[in-house]
């Protein structure tokens, strides 16, 4: 998969030259986090974490694609969580579905408030993307998280993260690293998308792993939101203020483009 090496592109970019240009939308997810996340941190421009161009080829557009276009056009649609999502059945079993015929939505969407809160509400500047990529960028010269979280501390920070593939010990250790690197300073809340592939080592569940790693932060945390590899996904404007609500298994996100 070529995207696995997308990080190499960063060494070929002239960020000072890019800083002088009129910003254009960059949209994508998964390995595209190398661009969406890093451009926001280093250039302070908004990007969109959402469906890739291939998805827009489906015959009957899902509402997530309509909302993505609205965001690029400067609108601020209120995005509600979806009723159902597409179950991942493995890459060789057409688990990704046919993007041109649309999603195969069969599983009930169920947002989870980590500590069992009846309702969660928070807002702040959104930053994040694919967890597998974010963890690889920790400590590199492109890691400007401390600068970003300090600059926007008055707004507060909202992290959104989603796992492509990992083990529960791996997730714990990487979240521990992020926490001790100061990534969650000024954080108002964290949203985790539905993970694609998780190996639960030592009989420790994904949910328990998040509790063990981040429970002492005393901030609201949402699991299994409509973000990332398991479609459909809510497009998130990285670098914008987002308002988040979660209750009774459903959620709502609004991007405030400022």
The predicted pLDDT at position 43 comes to: 96
pLDDT score of 4 more than 90: no
Distance CA(167)–CA(179), nearest Å, equals: 18
- Least confident residue range of 25-34, 98-107, 217-226, 248-257: 98-107
Helix spans in 135-255 (H): 145-151, 168-180, 206-214
Question: Rounded CA gap, 85 and 231, in Å?
Answer: 6
Query: Who's near 135: CB < 8 A, 6+ residues apart?
Result: 174, 177, 178
- Collapsing DSSP to helix, strand or coil, 53 comes out as helix
Q: 194-241, pLDDT tens digit by residue?
A: 999 999 999 999 999 999 999 999 999 999 999 999 999 999 999 999
Q: What is the mean pLDDT of the chain?
A: 93
pTM value is 0.94
Contact 131, 161 (CB under 8 A): yes
pLDDT given for residue 59 in this prediction: 86
Half-sphere exposure at residue 136, Cβ-oriented, CA atoms within 13 angstroms: 19
Report the pLDDT averaged over residues 90-111: 75
What distance in Å separates the CA atoms of residue 49 and residue 69, rounded to the nearest whole number?
13
Instruction: Select from 3.20.20.70, 3.50.30.60, 3.40.50.12780, 3.40.50.300 the CATH code of 2-256.
Output: 3.50.30.60
Q: For residue range 177-205, what is the model confidence (pLDDT) as tens digits? A: 999 999 999 999 999 999 999 999 999 99
- The H or E element containing residue 133 is helix 131-134
User: What's the confidence (pLDDT) of residue 93?
Assistant: 46
Residue 28 has which token pair?
A: 């994508």
Does residue 242 carry a pLDDT above 80?
yes
């Amino acid at each position: 998969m070529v995207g696995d090496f997308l990080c190499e592109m960063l060494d070929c970019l002239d960020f000072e030259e890019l800083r002088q240009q009129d910003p254009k939308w960059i949209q994508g997810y998964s390995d595209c986090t190398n661009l969406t996340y890093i451009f926001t941190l280093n250039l302070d421009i908004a990007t969109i974490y959402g469906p890739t161009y291939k998805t827009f080829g489906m015959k009957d557009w899902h509402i997530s694609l309509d909302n993505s276009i609205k965001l690029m056009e400067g609108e601020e649609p209120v995005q509600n969580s979806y009723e159902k999502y597409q179950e991942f059945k493995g890459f060789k079993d057409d688990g990704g579905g046919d993007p041109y015929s649309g999603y195969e939505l069969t599983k009930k969407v169920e947002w989870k408030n980590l500590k069992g809160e009846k309702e969660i509400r928070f807002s702040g500047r959104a930053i994040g993307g694919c967890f597998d990529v974010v963890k690889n960028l920790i400590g590199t010269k492109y890691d400007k998280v401390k600068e970003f979280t300090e600059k926007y501390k008055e707004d507060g920070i909202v992290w959104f993260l989603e796992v492509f593939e990992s083990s529960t010990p791996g997730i714990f250790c990487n979240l521990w690293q992020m926490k001790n690197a100061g990534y969650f300073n000024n954080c108002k809340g964290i949203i985790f998308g539905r993970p694609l592939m998780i190996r639960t080592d030592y009989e420790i569940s994904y949910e328990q792993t998040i509790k063990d790693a981040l429970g002492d932060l005393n901030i609201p945390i949402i699991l299994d939101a409509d973000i990332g590899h398991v479609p459909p996904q809510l497009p998130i404007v990285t670098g914008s203020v987002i308002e988040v609500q979660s209750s009774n298994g459903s959620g709502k996100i609004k991007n405030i483009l400022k």
